[in-house]
Amino acid sequence: MDNKLLKEDRRHGTPGFPVGFYQQARTPQEGILDFHWHEEIEFLRVTSGRAVFQIGLSAYEVSAGEALFIPGGLLHGGYPLEASDCAYEALVCDLGWLDGGPDDAISARYLRPLQRGRSGPPHHWTPDTPWGEAAIAAIAAVQRLEHAVAPARELRVKAGLLSLIADLIDAGQWQSRSPADEGESHAAERLKQALVFMETNFARKLSLRELADVAGMSEGHFSRMFKAYMRRTPVEYLNRHRIRYAAGRLTASESTISEVALEAGFDNFSYFIKLFRGIYGCTPRAYRKAGTADKGPALHAAATKKE
């Protein structure tokens, strides 16, 4: 994955088995889950600690033993809750792999509307309801198949996911999206365009006006929407990305610290040092001397992965 891009451009699993299993254990200082999106659906189960996870504009406090369903294409991320660590397991799946083909009535009724964001289960699953307890147990069982060596492992993963969807439908937990949700999706798509633009042009000066134009919004509307989705202002987000890029360059290149700062888009060296210290707790020189490898954004590509 190219960490410049907020959209994951990597393949989860293999062409014949497009399912990725991931594990993360993060501290508040590292960040829980950097905001990103991918076209695949995702099931995320918190195994210890707690955090706030945001899907679109909806935020959920999620504790150990609870789970999330994240539709494909939606911006999502996580941030600390009361300085708690958080560990979680994620399963990312290409929904097309579950589709029975153009003539399959079941796929037409349930899976394709889910793929288009027209229907699906609730985002947040808790064990205090019978359906929630069963759904969390079901996704945990599928995640355990990551380590299975049985000949029918892939078939059991597919069967487990389809069975889970069927159970959610039978439990009355398959919901249609409202017109308000459609409007939110349109706004999110415009925000994505600005995010990709920011992360591919971070090395030069970027004005709020330019970013707002890319998103097709006024500066005020863009700033408000950006903060609502990303929990940071556009400037804060851009600078954080620049600093992370600089951290990677410090450990992977022999460029001088001043050269790295310029590559990352900083023409004020003192400001670069201040921001770097604020994120990493040390100067760029100390960071490089320690040989620290930036753990990087908490995305699926940075997670422990066994497929």
Query: Which tens digit of pLDDT belongs to each residue from 122-178?
Result: 999 999 999 999 999 999 999 999 999 999 999 999 999 999 999 999 999 999 876
With H, G, I as helix, E, B as strand and everything else as coil, classify residue 88. Answer: strand
* pLDDT of the residue at 258: 97
Identify the H or E element spanning 20.
strand 19-26
* 3 state DSSP class of 92: strand
Q: In the prediction, which pLDDT does 302 show?
A: 40
Domains of the chain: 19-177 (2.60.120.280), 188-290 (1.10.10.60)
What pLDDT score was predicted for residue 217?
95
Q: Which residues of the chain have pLDDT under 70?
A: 1-11, 178-184, 292-307
Q: Per residue in 236-263, pLDDT tens?
A: 999 999 998 999 999 999 999 999 999 9
For residue 76, CA distances in Å to 5, 63, 190, 288 come to 14, 17, 15, 31
Looking at residue 25, what is its pLDDT? 95
Tell me which residue of 296, 269, 267 sits closest to 283, measured CA to CA.
Answer: 269
Q: What does the DSSP 8-state code read for residue 52?
A: E
User: What's the confidence (pLDDT) of residue 292?
Assistant: 59
The position carrying tokens 């990493």 is: 280
Residue 65 structure tokens: 């033993």
Full-model pTM: 0.80
Helices (H) and strands (E) in the chain, counts: 11, 11
Cα–Cα–Cα angle for 160, 71, 166, nearest 5°? Answer: 35
pLDDT for position 219: 96
